[in-house]
Amino acid sequence: MQDGHCPRCESETVYVDRTAHYSGLGPLQVDFWHVAPLVPYVCTTCGYVACFVERAESRTEIAEKWKHVPPGGKKS
């Protein structure tokens, strides 16, 4: 989605608004002291929505504090 293409319908009608505050989408609570803003992307052709943690610092905090899910591994 971040490249402007919808992975669901393959259209190029993807829109983003990094300045808006979306009450149901975030921020994502990383731990007690940290949050990661979610940036929603919307395809206006099929309605698909994907949210991304775009801040590198937030992704690093998540990798340090959350449990890793290995490929093909069981959910826990």
Tens of pLDDT along the chain (76 residues) come to 999 999 999 999 999 988 765 656 667 888 888 888 888 899 999 999 998 888 899 999 999 999 998 888 665 5
Alpha helix positions (H), 20-73: 56-65
The total number of structural domains that make up the chain: 1
Burial class (CB in 10 A: 0-12, 13-18, 19+), 41: middle
**Residue 8, domain member (yes or no):** no
Three-class DSSP category at 34: coil
pLDDT at residue 24, as a whole number: 63
**Residue 1, domain member (yes or no):** no
Q: What is d(CA 26, CA 35) in angstroms, rounded to the nearest whole number?
A: 9
* DSSP for residue 65: H
> Of 69, 58, 70, whose CA–CA distance to 31 is shortest?
58
**Residue 3, domain member (yes or no):** no
pTM for the predicted model, two decimal places: 0.73
pLDDT at residue 20, as a whole number: 66
Domain holding 28, by residue range, is 14-65
**Residue 18, domain member (yes or no):** yes
**Residue 31, domain member (yes or no):** yes
